[in-house]
Structure 1
Amino acid sequence: MVHAQTVQILTPVSGNVMPLKNVKDPVFSAGMMGLGFGIQPTNGQIVAPVSGKVTMVAATKHALGFTTPDNHLEVLVHLGIDTVDLKGQPFTLNVQADDEVQAGDVIATMDLEQITAANKQTTVVLAVTNSSDKLDHLDVTTGDQTAGSVAATGRLNANTFNAKRQGRLPKAGKYDQLAADIVENVGGVENINSLIHCITRLRFYLKDESKANDEVVANLKGVIDIAKAGGQYQVVIGPAVTDVYDAVIKQIGPEFSNDAETAKAVAETNAAANRPDTTWGLIKWGFSNLIGVITGSMIPVIGLLAASGILKGILAVLITFKLVNTTASTYVIINAMSDSVFYFLPIFVGFTAGKKLGADPVIMGIVGGVLAYPSIVAIAANGKTLSTLFGMTINADFFGLPVHVASYTYSIFPMIAGAWLASKLEPWLKRVIPTVLRMIFVPLFEVVIISGAILLFLGPIITVLSTALANGIVAVYNLSPAISGLIIGAFYQVLVIFGLHWAIIPIVANDIATTGHSYLNAIVSATMVAQGGAVLAIALKSKLANIQELAWPATISAFCGVTEPAMYGINLKYGRAFVTASIGAAVGGFLTGLMRVNMWGFTGAFIGATSFVNPKGLDFSFWGFWIASIATVIVSFTLTWLFGFKDEDAAAVKVAPQKRHLGQTA
């Protein structure tokens, strides 16, 4: 006797039963359609895999859907791969929608020879399309089996089993009839090129829009209206759009869907729906979106940055205690391990920002490679001056055009701006370049245009702005070290986000090279400690494992002088925490300037404590560093604990997982 919580599924055709991952179709093999199995058939007789109602029959006869009466499992039988193109010719069906069948009943035949002759695969695929909601698992018995034998056994998950016992299982196939009516009245499957959806609309790409019956579609029960825009035939559904989309894809087949375009449409319409009307609201909305893109682009590499920051701290300790010499090969190897992710950061950010913004991530990675290319880095590093323009050093020329080549290692904002530009340029290139030439010329033009835009325009603009800021900071510092410390402390990490801090680093380097010390670098050190204090508060306060998993390494990294993991992974992502960290940094910078704390090395934060030791003998700078740093941690920690973060913030910014739609393909 089969336990009430167990379900059995028969093989719908005789042949070799295989795991779903072996099916030569990415939609099915990746499990996008749900749990199931494939069969390489030895004959063309098809039987019902379960008892229940026939809820879907594709117009091209290549797919049938069943719903079981007791558990409401939705079972799809897909006859062959890409056989929708055959318009039903190889298939003969014995059932139609709403028929009741018993497991093992003969329901169809398929002509294997005709399918093979058409260069299509005969593989029959069975998928439980709502298995993510219904089943804990599905065990498949592979090998040769006859039609009607038990091929898979599964177990209902607890929620479905309890709901079944209480008689409250939801009605299945609610939108199947609406889906069938929509498909029929947009001209049938043969008139559909593809289908995506946004947050309220089905978006059909039709071969001939004139074949769609606008009046009938607009008046279907469940349809709000229709619209035509951007080459799309849009059917306005409302909040139930994803359910209707699922039902349509079940009928027309997964090959008509496009996961990437659907995700893009959902993101765009979500953004438009949340766009405020007031000017100030638009500014806040735009800045929030910018921060979202920055943090979203950085999240994939945050762990690497944290690990590299910790390794940099270890290397600093080894150097401080003279366990490793900076000229030794040991130092070179460890330094490469700790610095490579920062040196090649434009490549990684190009890839992740491209994915985030809808540009080709590989092409954007190549653009990042252009910026990190050794010869480009050498031009920026050699200090050669050909001329000056608007106070900017001209160190190269491009076909005679004077150019300032900046250093892009450690930088992220130019690549994010480049990815945004690429997301606008790429669709236009694909429209104007013939299909047969796209593979070569789209990457060619994109790499040249985006790299050129960054090197020739964006980089110099950032350099001019950062140089002006640096000159202003020096002027303020000369006027009042305390006020300068307050301002630099509050805003230095903001400059880091946009790559505007690079003009300050040469000032620090020049100070250390000419005088052996830098008051300015001591203030910058306080901003690192502040980011660490804020993320430490979050690490201790949060009860969420995913937050703690990132916050603790980010804390260590920040106290080792690398703030990117703390900033992009936690503080900036949750908004208020970055503000409270900046307030703590302002306090630390103010105290550092007020006490005239000096610094004799580059390495800051707690790991760089020895940089505050005067080579001529210990003086107050060392104790001033500790006073300012401890005060910074106390302020940033306390403010973040009280006002900067709560676990609900993580839930608020967490992107809700998208419902897995039937037949979405990459």
Structure 2
Amino acid sequence: MNQSEKFKKLAEEILNEVGEKENILNFTHCATRLRFNLKNESIPSDEKIKEIKGVLGVIRSGGQLQVIIGQDVSKVYDEVCKMIGFQDNSNIDEADKPKKKVTVKSVLNGILDALSGSLVPAIPVITAAAFFKMLVAILGPSMLNVIGPKSDFYVLATFVGDAGFYFFPVIIGYTSAKKFKVSPVMGILLGAIMLHPTFVGLAGKSFSVYGIPCSVQKYGSTILPIIMSVYVMSYVERFFNKWLPSALRSVFAPAFTIAVMLPISLCVLGPAGSFLGSYICNGIISLHGVVGFLGVAIIGATFEFLVMSGMHMILITFLFQIFATAGHENFIAVGMIAATYAVAGICLGAALRIKDPEQKSLSFGFLISLLLGGVTEPGIYGVGIRYKKPLLGLVAGGFAGGLYMGILNIGHYTLVPATNVVGLLAFTGNGTSNLVNGIIGCLISLIVAAAVTYFFGFDKNDPIVKKN
């Protein structure tokens, strides 16, 4: 069976278990997972899906069924799209969506779903922008001093990198519009309105929208204001599309939608989202001030469990804003990278301890997949969840590496959304010492996790650690 046939078979089996096209409301993917929003969530059996060859795990989070595939997820996604006959999740009809009782859990799941659905598609923008900011940090005066602040390349790379972050509300306007099934260009327009120089220049001045007082904020690099605004706009747009005559709809529906959204977005949701985002970011910074280096260690020990639950998207959301305001981050991001290298460590420890050739090869494969591709889920589910005891190594390694970096106050000065070896370059920007000690901290995570997994991760009588 060639690769194409393998992906097709995997897609068929998954589609059969989730209830075919008729049970799918939304279908997207991230770096490692197929993400299904289903009409009837009781149809799929998690255990049956886990038994499918090629599936690394199953998670229910944020109102989604998430099937973990690994680096080949986009190929499986394409096969599923072919089978159900669509290229874009906006083509799926929501008319049959059952009404759900509103509970605290359902609201939290909805928020997680909205954040992940809006942020994950925007990751390539952050990757590209961060690459140029990383070049400035490495080649500039703070490290190699190959280029100076007045050189053309320094200026070019700086404004290219800044553009990806400053205009993030425009990007999120597009991705959140697709998530909430609004015309994507309307999401772009709403984001652009919030960043227009004339509007931004009104900050601190008296201004009103239709006579309604407007507290003008600077929305560059923010996330919550545009997501909240586009969510409300989805209802406004649907209202006009439903009630306007078809002859008038194409012209007046977009105009009326924006006209209604201006006071809602600029006077209410924008300031509220900005305040909420700033409040939470300041809370995170204050928390770090209270717990100190132990906080970094705790993040390192527990972050991958947040990944398993899908809750990590909440932390990642506010990382963007912290970087935008402070220019660096030495709490969550540092703990995250410590946790990542702890996953690499349990893969290495398992590969060295296991004698079964096939399982040894798989563990080495998970390690390479993480170090080169930046994918942690195969290691988490293929080693940690599968064998259970290596999770001790995951916690110990993440804690040890996080503790070291926390004590030395190591920081991330470039937001690099990559968990492979390239992610180490996030430590650039504050001199060589920060980079060197950041790398040492990651190696501590890896070595401690590998050692704990090797010595304590398996029972001595387990067949896979015995020589044939």
TM category (shorter chain) comes to 0.5 to 0.7
Task: Kindly state the Cα deviation for residue 613 of structure 1 after the two structures are TM-superposed.
Answer: 4.3
> Matches of residues 265-280 of structure 1 in structure 2 within 5 Å?
265=93, 267=94, 269=96, 272=98
**Separation in structure 1 between the aligned mates of residue 449 and residue 216 of structure 2, nearest angstrom:** 38
**Separation in structure 2 between the aligned mates of residue 339 and residue 377 of structure 1, nearest angstrom:** 17
> Is 1:443 matched with 2:254?
yes
Task: Kindly state the Cα deviation for residue 297 of structure 1 after the two structures are TM-superposed.
Answer: 3.8
| TM-score normalized by the length of structure 1 | 0.39
Query: 237, 243, 252: which is aligned to 1:432?
Result: 243
What SS class does the counterpart of residue 241 from structure 2 fall into? helix
Give the number of the structure with larger relative contact order, counting CA–CA contacts within 8 Å between residues 6 or more apart: 2
Residue matched to 1:407: 219
Contact 2:345 2:397 in 1 (8 A): no
The unaligned stretches of length 5 or more in structure 2 are 6-20, 24-85, 352-360, 386-390, 416-422, 454-468
What SS class does the counterpart of residue 147 from structure 2 fall into? coil
Task: Kindly state the Cα deviation for residue 622 of structure 1 after the two structures are TM-superposed.
Answer: 7.1
> Is 1:364 matched with 2:193?
no
Runs of 4+ in 1 over 6 A off after TM superposition: 258-262, 534-543, 547-554, 579-587, 634-640
Cα separation, partners in 2 of 1:582 and 1:464, compared to 1, 3 Å: farther
Residue matched to 1:346: 169
Cα offsets for 1:599-621 (capped at 9, x unmatched): 6x94476325454549xxx7xx7
> Is 1:606 matched with 2:424?
yes
Residue matched to 1:315: 136
Residue matched to 1:335: 158
Contact 2:337 2:442 in 1 (8 A): yes
Query: 623, 630, 637: which is aligned to 2:443?
Result: 630
| TM-score normalized by the length of structure 2 | 0.53
**Separation in structure 1 between the aligned mates of residue 450 and residue 268 of structure 2, nearest angstrom:** 40
Contact 1:488 1:589 in 2 (8 A): yes
Task: Indicate the structure with greater helix content.
Answer: 2
Contact 1:307 1:553 in 2 (8 A): no
Cα offsets for 1:85-138 (capped at 9, x unmatched): xxxxxxxxxxxxxxxxxxxxxxxxxxxxxxxxxxxxxxxxxxxxxxxxxxxxxx
Residue matched to 2:54: none
**Separation in structure 2 between the aligned mates of residue 639 and residue 397 of structure 1, nearest angstrom:** 62
**Separation in structure 1 between the aligned mates of residue 260 and residue 378 of structure 2, nearest angstrom:** 34
What SS class does the counterpart of residue 329 from structure 2 fall into? helix
**Separation in structure 1 between the aligned mates of residue 186 and residue 179 of structure 2, nearest angstrom:** 14
Cα separation, partners in 2 of 1:313 and 1:408, compared to 1, 3 Å: same
Residue matched to 1:502: 321
Cα separation, partners in 2 of 1:308 and 1:498, compared to 1, 3 Å: closer
Contact 2:334 2:402 in 1 (8 A): yes
Contact 2:224 2:273 in 1 (8 A): no
**Separation in structure 2 between the aligned mates of residue 438 and residue 635 of structure 1, nearest angstrom:** 63
Cα separation, partners in 2 of 1:464 and 1:338, compared to 1, 3 Å: closer
Aligned amino acid, residue 219 of structure 2:
S
Residue matched to 2:264: 453
**Separation in structure 1 between the aligned mates of residue 452 and residue 197 of structure 2, nearest angstrom:** 43
**Separation in structure 1 between the aligned mates of residue 451 and residue 267 of structure 2, nearest angstrom:** 44
**Separation in structure 1 between the aligned mates of residue 131 and residue 323 of structure 2, nearest angstrom:** 24
Contact 1:345 1:412 in 2 (8 A): yes
Q: Highest Rg: 1 or 2?
A: 1
**Separation in structure 2 between the aligned mates of residue 585 and residue 438 of structure 1, nearest angstrom:** 55
Residue matched to 1:355: 178
Cα separation, partners in 2 of 1:439 and 1:524, compared to 1, 3 Å: same
**Separation in structure 1 between the aligned mates of residue 336 and residue 157 of structure 2, nearest angstrom:** 22
Cα separation, partners in 2 of 1:400 and 1:628, compared to 1, 3 Å: same
**Separation in structure 1 between the aligned mates of residue 192 and residue 129 of structure 2, nearest angstrom:** 20
Task: Indicate the structure with greater strand content.
Answer: 1
**Separation in structure 2 between the aligned mates of residue 401 and residue 639 of structure 1, nearest angstrom:** 60
Aligned amino acid, residue 425 of structure 2:
I
**Separation in structure 1 between the aligned mates of residue 227 and residue 134 of structure 2, nearest angstrom:** 28
The unaligned stretches of length 5 or more in structure 1 are 1-156, 158-197, 201-257, 387-394, 510-519, 556-565, 641-666
> Is 1:529 matched with 2:337?
yes
> Matches of residues 199-238 of structure 1 in structure 2 within 5 Å?
199=22
What SS class does the counterpart of residue 98 from structure 2 fall into? helix
**Separation in structure 2 between the aligned mates of residue 260 and residue 487 of structure 1, nearest angstrom:** 39
Task: Kindly state the Cα deviation for residue 403 of structure 1 after the two structures are TM-superposed.
Answer: 0.4
Cα separation, partners in 2 of 1:325 and 1:612, compared to 1, 3 Å: closer
Task: Kindly state the Cα deviation for residue 261 of structure 1 after the two structures are TM-superposed.
Answer: 11
Cα separation, partners in 2 of 1:470 and 1:294, compared to 1, 3 Å: closer
Aligned amino acid, residue 255 of structure 2:
L
**Separation in structure 1 between the aligned mates of residue 218 and residue 258 of structure 2, nearest angstrom:** 18
Cα separation, partners in 2 of 1:471 and 1:337, compared to 1, 3 Å: closer
**Separation in structure 2 between the aligned mates of residue 483 and residue 626 of structure 1, nearest angstrom:** 19
Residue matched to 1:463: 274
**Separation in structure 1 between the aligned mates of residue 218 and residue 378 of structure 2, nearest angstrom:** 29
**Separation in structure 2 between the aligned mates of residue 449 and residue 534 of structure 1, nearest angstrom:** 50
What SS class does the counterpart of residue 351 from structure 1 fall into? helix
What SS class does the counterpart of residue 226 from structure 2 fall into? helix
Task: Kindly state the Cα deviation for residue 584 of structure 1 after the two structures are TM-superposed.
Answer: 7.6
Aligned amino acid, residue 328 of structure 1:
S
Cα separation, partners in 2 of 1:552 and 1:587, compared to 1, 3 Å: closer
Contact 1:346 1:412 in 2 (8 A): yes
Task: Kindly state the Cα deviation for residue 359 of structure 1 after the two structures are TM-superposed.
Answer: 1.0
Cα separation, partners in 2 of 1:360 and 1:412, compared to 1, 3 Å: same
Cα offsets for 1:420-466 (capped at 9, x unmatched): 22222212112333333322221112223335433322232233334
Contact 1:473 1:484 in 2 (8 A): no
Aligned amino acid, residue 441 of structure 1:
F
Task: Kindly state the Cα deviation for residue 286 of structure 1 after the two structures are TM-superposed.
Answer: 4.9
Contact 2:195 2:218 in 1 (8 A): no
Task: Kindly state the Cα deviation for residue 321 of structure 1 after the two structures are TM-superposed.
Answer: 0.9
Task: Kindly state the Cα deviation for residue 360 of structure 1 after the two structures are TM-superposed.
Answer: 1.1
Aligned amino acid, residue 597 of structure 1:
N
Cα offsets for 1:615-637 (capped at 9, x unmatched): xxx7xx77754444434566899
Contact 1:476 1:483 in 2 (8 A): no
Contact 2:226 2:270 in 1 (8 A): no
